[in-house]
A = this chain, B = another copy of it.
Amino acid sequence: MKLVILRLGHRIHRDERVTTHVCLTARAFGCDGVIISGQPDEGVKRSVEDVVQRFGGKFFVEMKRDWTKVIKEWLESGGEVVHLTMYGLPLPEVIEEIRSSNRDKLIIVGSEKVPRKVYEMATWNVSVTNQPISEVAALAVFLDWLQQHREFYIEFENAKIKVIPSAREKKVMRLA
């Protein structure tokens, strides 16, 4: 099952760090890549690709202006769309249904106001609490639930740096 994030409404400067956090979280939790819609931002792309270079694995960052087209094509090719929003149905109520389908998932996270069309096009509108939180928090918890904690056991190929878990130190293994 392919997992791709669609980051809506990215604005240069203002969203730079949060969008980077979205990308890094998506990568670490086993997604295939992120499509950023909004203002094109080579800076975000570069910092995420730098992490991929050093910590390994495959992960793409693409920028596409026309998010409607991205969603439409995803659905047409048989994939499903999960829109994370505080207005959606609670994660615990829908997770079984979402997990039970093996189709590719496009997971949408917005920044500023998300157009109504997204709510209509999504296969599921899902909330991680109905409180204002953070798209990064919502994404992390959703992916953890969807994949049942798989993120803790991923091995990233071709890593140059690997962290060795430690109770009290910073242990890093250099592989290249």
Contact = CB atoms under 8 A, between A and B. Distances in A.
Interface stretch (A23-31, A36-44, A65-73): A23-31
Nearest to A86: B163
Contacts of A28: 129, 131-133, 137
A93 B149 CA distance: 12
A132 B162 CA distance: 11
A51 B130 CA distance: 13
A120 interface: yes
Nearest to A144: B141
Contacts of A81: none
A92 B168 contact: no
Chain A, interface size: which category? 35 or more
A60 interface: no
A90 B131 contact: no
Contact of A24 (B22, B27, B134, B168): B134
A175 to B, nearest CB: 14
A87 B134 contact: no
A125 B21 contact: no
A132 B131 CA distance: 26
Nearest to A51: B132
B168 A120 contact: yes
Given A21-B136, A136-B137, A137-B139, A129 B29 contact: yes
Nearest to A13: B13
Contacts of A116: 170
17 contacts: A17-B17, A17-B18, A18-B18, A24-B133, A24-B137, A25-B133, A55-B132, A87-B163, A89-B166, A119-B170, A122-B168, A124-B167, A127-B165, A131-B163, A136-B140, A137-B139, A141-B141
